[in-house]
Protein backbone atom coordinates (compact mmCIF):
# COMPACT_ATOMS: atom_id res chain seq x y z
CA UNK A 1 0.00 0.00 0.00
CA UNK A 2 2.83 2.42 0.91
CA UNK A 3 4.54 1.61 -2.39
CA UNK A 4 1.36 2.44 -4.31
CA UNK A 5 0.99 5.76 -2.49
CA UNK A 6 4.65 6.60 -3.14
CA UNK A 7 4.36 5.88 -6.87
CA UNK A 8 1.17 7.91 -7.05
CA UNK A 9 2.93 10.88 -5.45
CA UNK A 10 5.87 10.58 -7.84
CA UNK A 11 3.61 10.47 -10.89
CA UNK A 12 1.62 13.43 -9.60
CA UNK A 13 4.82 15.37 -9.11
CA UNK A 14 6.01 14.57 -12.61
CA UNK A 15 2.73 15.78 -14.04
CA UNK A 16 2.75 18.94 -11.95
CA UNK A 17 6.24 20.22 -12.86
CA UNK A 18 5.65 20.51 -16.63
CA UNK A 19 2.43 22.48 -16.02
CA UNK A 20 4.36 25.12 -14.03
CA UNK A 21 7.08 25.32 -16.69
CA UNK A 22 4.48 25.53 -19.45
CA UNK A 23 2.61 28.33 -17.65
CA UNK A 24 5.82 30.30 -17.20
CA UNK A 25 6.80 29.79 -20.83
CA UNK A 26 3.34 30.71 -22.06
CA UNK A 27 3.33 33.95 -20.06
CA UNK A 28 6.51 35.38 -21.56
CA UNK A 29 6.09 33.92 -25.04
CA UNK A 30 5.32 36.70 -27.50
CA UNK A 31 5.67 39.37 -24.80
CA UNK A 32 7.89 42.45 -24.65
CA UNK A 33 9.82 43.38 -21.50
CA UNK A 34 10.87 46.99 -20.96
CA UNK A 35 14.00 48.05 -19.13
CA UNK A 36 13.55 51.67 -18.06
CA UNK A 37 16.98 53.28 -17.78
CA UNK A 38 17.14 56.42 -15.67
CA UNK A 39 20.02 57.96 -17.61
CA UNK A 40 20.65 59.14 -21.15
CA UNK A 41 21.84 56.92 -24.04
CA UNK A 42 25.57 56.34 -24.38
CA UNK A 43 26.40 55.98 -20.69
CA UNK A 44 27.24 53.00 -18.51
CA UNK A 45 23.71 52.21 -17.32
CA UNK A 46 22.40 52.42 -20.87
CA UNK A 47 25.19 50.23 -22.25
CA UNK A 48 24.57 47.49 -19.69
CA UNK A 49 20.81 47.55 -20.28
CA UNK A 50 21.23 47.23 -24.04
CA UNK A 51 23.63 44.34 -23.59
CA UNK A 52 21.03 42.63 -21.41
CA UNK A 53 18.35 43.23 -24.03
CA UNK A 54 20.41 41.27 -26.55
CA UNK A 55 21.36 38.29 -24.38
CA UNK A 56 18.92 37.89 -21.49
CA UNK A 57 15.90 36.72 -23.57
CA UNK A 58 17.52 33.35 -24.27
CA UNK A 59 17.36 32.56 -20.53
CA UNK A 60 13.73 33.57 -20.05
CA UNK A 61 11.13 30.87 -20.84
CA UNK A 62 9.25 31.91 -23.96
CA UNK A 63 12.16 34.11 -25.11
CA UNK A 64 10.41 37.50 -24.99
CA UNK A 65 11.74 40.62 -26.68
CA UNK A 66 13.48 43.10 -24.38
CA UNK A 67 13.57 46.79 -25.26
CA UNK A 68 15.33 49.68 -23.52
CA UNK A 69 13.63 52.99 -22.77
CA UNK A 70 15.54 55.98 -21.42
CA UNK A 71 13.64 58.03 -18.85
CA UNK A 72 16.02 60.74 -17.70
CA UNK A 73 15.60 63.24 -14.91
CA UNK A 74 16.92 63.98 -11.41
CA UNK A 75 19.78 61.49 -11.65
CA UNK A 76 17.36 58.59 -12.42
CA UNK A 77 14.91 59.55 -9.64
CA UNK A 78 12.19 60.10 -12.26
CA UNK A 79 12.67 56.54 -13.49
CA UNK A 80 12.73 55.07 -9.96
CA UNK A 81 9.52 56.88 -9.01
CA UNK A 82 7.89 55.71 -12.24
CA UNK A 83 8.78 52.06 -11.73
CA UNK A 84 7.51 52.19 -8.15
CA UNK A 85 4.28 54.14 -8.70
CA UNK A 86 3.24 53.81 -12.34
CA UNK A 87 4.66 50.66 -13.93
CA UNK A 88 2.40 47.61 -13.79
CA UNK A 89 3.67 44.86 -11.44
CA UNK A 90 3.29 42.21 -14.11
CA UNK A 91 6.90 41.17 -14.65
CA UNK A 92 7.14 43.03 -17.94
CA UNK A 93 8.79 46.24 -16.71
CA UNK A 94 11.83 46.74 -14.56
CA UNK A 95 14.00 49.75 -13.88
CA UNK A 96 17.72 50.39 -14.04
CA UNK A 97 18.42 53.30 -11.72
CA UNK A 98 20.72 54.44 -8.93
CA UNK A 99 20.51 52.38 -5.76
CA UNK A 100 22.09 55.35 -4.01
CA UNK A 101 18.54 56.56 -3.44
CA UNK A 102 18.52 54.32 -0.36
CA UNK A 103 20.65 57.01 1.29
CA UNK A 104 18.30 59.65 -0.07
CA UNK A 105 15.38 57.89 1.56
CA UNK A 106 17.21 57.20 4.81
CA UNK A 107 18.20 60.85 5.15
CA UNK A 108 14.86 62.31 4.10
CA UNK A 109 15.72 63.77 0.70
CA UNK A 110 12.69 65.47 -0.96
CA UNK A 111 11.32 63.86 -4.10
CA UNK A 112 11.55 60.24 -2.95
CA UNK A 113 8.17 58.69 -3.71
CA UNK A 114 9.07 55.10 -2.93
CA UNK A 115 10.25 52.78 -0.21
CA UNK A 116 13.46 51.29 -1.54
CA UNK A 117 13.01 48.12 0.51
CA UNK A 118 9.67 47.36 -1.19
CA UNK A 119 11.06 47.10 -4.71
CA UNK A 120 11.39 43.54 -6.01
CA UNK A 121 15.09 43.33 -6.86
CA UNK A 122 16.36 41.51 -9.93
CA UNK A 123 20.03 42.05 -9.08
CA UNK A 124 22.87 43.88 -10.78
CA UNK A 125 25.29 43.19 -13.61
CA UNK A 126 28.05 45.42 -12.30
CA UNK A 127 29.03 47.37 -9.21
CA UNK A 128 29.65 51.10 -9.27
CA UNK A 129 33.22 51.17 -8.01
CA UNK A 130 34.23 54.61 -9.05
CA UNK A 131 37.20 56.64 -10.18
CA UNK A 132 37.55 60.38 -10.63
CA UNK A 133 39.00 61.60 -13.92
CA UNK A 134 40.00 65.14 -14.87
CA UNK A 135 40.94 66.63 -18.21
CA UNK A 136 44.54 67.51 -18.98
CA UNK A 137 43.28 70.95 -20.03
CA UNK A 138 42.16 71.60 -16.44
CA UNK A 139 45.78 71.57 -15.34
CA UNK A 140 44.95 69.12 -12.53
CA UNK A 141 46.53 65.80 -13.40
CA UNK A 142 47.37 64.49 -9.92
CA UNK A 143 46.05 64.64 -6.37
CA UNK A 144 49.01 66.78 -5.35
CA UNK A 145 47.95 69.40 -7.87
CA UNK A 146 44.32 69.10 -6.79
CA UNK A 147 45.11 69.66 -3.11
CA UNK A 148 47.19 72.69 -4.10
CA UNK A 149 44.62 74.15 -6.53
CA UNK A 150 43.87 77.81 -5.86
CA UNK A 151 40.46 77.66 -7.52
CA UNK A 152 37.81 74.95 -7.13
CA UNK A 153 37.93 72.09 -9.61
CA UNK A 154 34.62 71.89 -11.49
CA UNK A 155 33.12 68.41 -11.27
CA UNK A 156 29.99 67.36 -13.14
CA UNK A 157 27.34 65.09 -11.61
CA UNK A 158 23.90 63.91 -12.62
CA UNK A 159 22.20 65.05 -9.42
CA UNK A 160 21.48 64.25 -5.75
CA UNK A 161 21.16 60.54 -5.04
CA UNK A 162 23.23 59.39 -8.01
CA UNK A 163 25.79 57.29 -6.20
CA UNK A 164 28.63 56.94 -8.70
CA UNK A 165 28.69 60.62 -9.59
CA UNK A 166 27.04 62.95 -7.08
CA UNK A 167 27.41 60.96 -3.86
CA UNK A 168 31.00 59.93 -4.54
CA UNK A 169 32.11 63.44 -5.42
CA UNK A 170 30.42 65.03 -2.41
CA UNK A 171 31.77 62.50 0.08
CA UNK A 172 35.30 62.73 -1.32
CA UNK A 173 35.18 66.53 -1.29
CA UNK A 174 34.11 66.59 2.36
CA UNK A 175 36.31 63.75 3.61
CA UNK A 176 39.49 65.00 1.94
CA UNK A 177 38.70 68.72 2.16
CA UNK A 178 39.25 69.17 -1.57
CA UNK A 179 38.70 72.44 -3.45
CA UNK A 180 35.81 71.44 -5.69
CA UNK A 181 32.74 72.98 -7.27
CA UNK A 182 29.93 70.55 -8.05
CA UNK A 183 27.87 71.21 -11.15
CA UNK A 184 24.91 68.85 -11.25
CA UNK A 185 21.98 68.24 -13.57
CA UNK A 186 23.57 66.26 -16.40
CA UNK A 187 21.34 63.53 -17.84
CA UNK A 188 24.05 60.88 -17.87
CA UNK A 189 27.73 60.13 -18.14
CA UNK A 190 27.71 60.66 -21.90
CA UNK A 191 26.61 64.25 -21.35
CA UNK A 192 29.30 64.76 -18.71
CA UNK A 193 31.97 63.43 -21.06
CA UNK A 194 30.97 65.99 -23.65
CA UNK A 195 30.91 68.75 -21.03
CA UNK A 196 34.42 67.85 -19.90
CA UNK A 197 35.77 67.68 -23.42
CA UNK A 198 34.30 71.10 -24.22
CA UNK A 199 35.80 72.66 -21.08
CA UNK A 200 32.46 73.23 -19.37
CA UNK A 201 33.66 71.12 -16.43
CA UNK A 202 37.09 69.85 -15.40
CA UNK A 203 36.06 66.25 -14.89
CA UNK A 204 33.72 63.87 -13.17
CA UNK A 205 33.31 60.50 -11.46
CA UNK A 206 31.56 57.26 -12.29
CA UNK A 207 32.18 53.53 -12.24
CA UNK A 208 35.64 52.67 -13.56
CA UNK A 209 34.40 49.50 -15.23
CA UNK A 210 32.16 51.70 -17.35
CA UNK A 211 34.45 54.72 -17.65
CA UNK A 212 37.37 52.79 -19.07
CA UNK A 213 35.16 51.60 -21.93
CA UNK A 214 33.05 54.65 -22.72
CA UNK A 215 35.90 57.18 -22.25
CA UNK A 216 38.63 54.86 -23.49
CA UNK A 217 40.14 56.98 -26.27
CA UNK A 218 40.50 60.10 -24.14
CA UNK A 219 42.11 58.14 -21.29
CA UNK A 220 44.51 56.30 -23.59
CA UNK A 221 45.52 59.52 -25.34
CA UNK A 222 46.16 61.30 -22.05
CA UNK A 223 43.63 64.08 -22.62
CA UNK A 224 41.80 62.67 -19.59
CA UNK A 225 43.68 61.51 -16.50
CA UNK A 226 42.37 59.31 -13.68
CA UNK A 227 43.54 60.96 -10.46
CA UNK A 228 41.68 59.10 -7.70
CA UNK A 229 40.05 55.75 -6.96
CA UNK A 230 37.18 55.52 -4.48
CA UNK A 231 37.47 51.78 -3.81
CA UNK A 232 38.96 49.82 -0.87
CA UNK A 233 41.47 48.06 -3.13
CA UNK A 234 43.10 49.46 -6.27
CA UNK A 235 41.87 48.35 -9.67
CA UNK A 236 44.45 46.09 -11.34
CA UNK A 237 44.81 48.49 -14.28
CA UNK A 238 45.21 51.57 -12.04
CA UNK A 239 48.05 50.45 -9.74
CA UNK A 240 49.60 53.92 -9.35
CA UNK A 241 46.41 55.92 -8.84
CA UNK A 242 45.86 56.72 -5.13
CA UNK A 243 42.89 55.51 -3.08
CA UNK A 244 40.64 58.04 -1.40
CA UNK A 245 40.61 56.02 1.84
CA UNK A 246 44.44 56.21 2.00
CA UNK A 247 44.37 60.00 1.73
CA UNK A 248 41.85 60.40 4.56
CA UNK A 249 43.57 61.93 7.59
CA UNK A 250 41.00 61.29 10.32
CA UNK A 251 38.92 58.36 11.55
CA UNK A 252 35.75 60.25 10.68
CA UNK A 253 36.95 60.89 7.13
CA UNK A 254 37.72 57.19 6.68
CA UNK A 255 34.30 56.28 8.05
CA UNK A 256 32.56 58.63 5.62
CA UNK A 257 34.39 57.07 2.68
CA UNK A 258 33.80 53.52 3.90
CA UNK A 259 30.06 53.82 4.55
CA UNK A 260 29.29 56.58 2.08
CA UNK A 261 31.13 55.02 -0.88
CA UNK A 262 32.58 51.53 -0.36
CA UNK A 263 29.59 49.91 1.36
CA UNK A 264 26.83 50.79 -1.12
CA UNK A 265 28.82 50.22 -4.32
CA UNK A 266 27.23 46.83 -4.97
CA UNK A 267 23.68 48.21 -5.11
CA UNK A 268 24.31 51.27 -7.24
CA UNK A 269 23.35 49.83 -10.64
CA UNK A 270 20.05 48.51 -9.36
CA UNK A 271 17.71 46.43 -11.51
CA UNK A 272 14.31 46.30 -9.85
CA UNK A 273 10.68 45.41 -10.47
CA UNK A 274 7.65 47.27 -9.07
CA UNK A 275 6.30 46.18 -5.68
CA UNK A 276 3.70 43.45 -6.01
CA UNK A 277 5.31 41.72 -8.98
CA UNK A 278 4.37 38.01 -8.79
CA UNK A 279 7.09 36.00 -7.11
CA UNK A 280 7.35 33.35 -9.82
CA UNK A 281 7.92 35.95 -12.53
CA UNK A 282 10.48 37.77 -10.39
CA UNK A 283 12.34 34.51 -9.85
CA UNK A 284 12.41 33.85 -13.59
CA UNK A 285 14.05 37.23 -14.22
CA UNK A 286 16.42 36.87 -11.27
CA UNK A 287 17.61 33.49 -12.52
CA UNK A 288 17.83 34.76 -16.10
CA UNK A 289 20.04 37.67 -15.03
CA UNK A 290 22.47 35.40 -13.20
CA UNK A 291 22.61 33.03 -16.20
CA UNK A 292 23.14 35.94 -18.59
CA UNK A 293 26.21 37.23 -16.75
CA UNK A 294 27.77 33.78 -17.22
CA UNK A 295 26.93 33.66 -20.94
CA UNK A 296 30.05 33.49 -23.11
CA UNK A 297 28.69 35.86 -25.77
CA UNK A 298 27.58 38.38 -23.15
CA UNK A 299 30.99 38.27 -21.47
CA UNK A 300 32.74 38.64 -24.83
CA UNK A 301 30.68 41.71 -25.69
CA UNK A 302 31.41 43.25 -22.29
CA UNK A 303 35.13 42.54 -22.71
CA UNK A 304 35.17 44.11 -26.17
CA UNK A 305 33.50 47.24 -24.79
CA UNK A 306 35.85 47.17 -21.78
CA UNK A 307 32.88 47.03 -19.43
CA UNK A 308 33.65 45.10 -16.26
CA UNK A 309 31.13 42.67 -14.84
CA UNK A 310 30.64 42.15 -11.12
CA UNK A 311 27.23 40.51 -10.67
CA UNK A 312 25.11 40.96 -7.55
CA UNK A 313 22.24 38.62 -6.70
CA UNK A 314 18.82 39.90 -5.73
CA UNK A 315 19.24 38.50 -2.21
CA UNK A 316 22.63 40.14 -1.69
CA UNK A 317 21.23 43.42 -2.96
CA UNK A 318 18.28 43.24 -0.58
CA UNK A 319 20.58 42.60 2.40
CA UNK A 320 22.76 45.58 1.48
CA UNK A 321 19.75 47.87 1.33
CA UNK A 322 18.63 46.59 4.72
CA UNK A 323 22.09 47.40 6.08
CA UNK A 324 21.88 51.00 4.90
CA UNK A 325 18.68 51.55 6.86
CA UNK A 326 20.39 50.16 9.97
CA UNK A 327 23.37 52.52 9.89
CA UNK A 328 24.13 54.62 12.96
CA UNK A 329 21.83 57.68 13.01
CA UNK A 330 24.79 59.94 13.76
CA UNK A 331 26.62 58.74 10.64
CA UNK A 332 23.48 59.13 8.55
CA UNK A 333 23.15 62.67 9.88
CA UNK A 334 26.69 63.51 8.73
CA UNK A 335 26.03 61.98 5.32
CA UNK A 336 22.80 63.95 5.04
CA UNK A 337 24.70 67.18 5.65
CA UNK A 338 27.23 66.24 2.98
CA UNK A 339 24.90 64.84 0.35
CA UNK A 340 21.99 67.21 0.57
What are the domain boundaries of the chain? Answer: 29-127+267-339, 130-264
Domains 29-127+267-339 and 130-264 share a fold: yes
Alpha carbon distance 186, 196 (integer Å): 12
The secondary structure element, H or E, covering residue 204 is strand 203-207
- 0.85 surpassed by pTM: no
Q: How many Cβ atoms are within 10 Å of 291's Cβ, its own excluded?
A: 15
Q: Single out the residue of 37, 308, 38, 40 nearest to residue 195, CA to CA.
A: 40
The strand pair at 130-135 and 224-229 is best described as antiparallel
Q: Which residues pair with 123 in a beta bridge?
A: 271
Per-residue pLDDT of the chain (340 residues; tens, 9 = 90+): 434 444 444 444 444 444 444 555 589 999 999 999 999 998 889 999 999 999 999 999 999 999 999 999 988 999 999 999 999 999 999 999 999 899 889 988 889 999 999 999 999 998 888 999 999 999 999 999 999 999 999 999 988 877 778 889 999 999 999 999 999 999 888 999 999 999 999 999 988 988 998 899 999 999 999 999 999 999 999 999 999 999 999 999 999 999 999 988 888 899 999 999 999 999 999 999 999 999 999 999 999 988 888 899 999 999 999 999 999 999 999 999 998 8
Q: For 29-127+267-339, which CATH class?
A: alpha beta
- Exposure string (b/e) for 129-146, b if CB count within 10 Å is 16 or more? bbbbbbbeebebbebeeb
The strand pair at 180-184 and 153-157 is best described as parallel
Q: For 130-264, which CATH class?
A: alpha beta
Amino acid sequence: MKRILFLTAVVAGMLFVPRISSAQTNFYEGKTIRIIVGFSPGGGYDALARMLSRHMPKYIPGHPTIIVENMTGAASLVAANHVYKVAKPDGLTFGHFSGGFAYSQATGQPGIEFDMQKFVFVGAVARDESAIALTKASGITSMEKWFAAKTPVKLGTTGPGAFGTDNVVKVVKAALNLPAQIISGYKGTADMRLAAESGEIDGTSWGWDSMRGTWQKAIESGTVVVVLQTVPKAFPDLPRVPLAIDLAKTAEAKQLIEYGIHFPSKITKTLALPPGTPGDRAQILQRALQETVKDAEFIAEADKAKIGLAPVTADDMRKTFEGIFKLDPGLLGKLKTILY
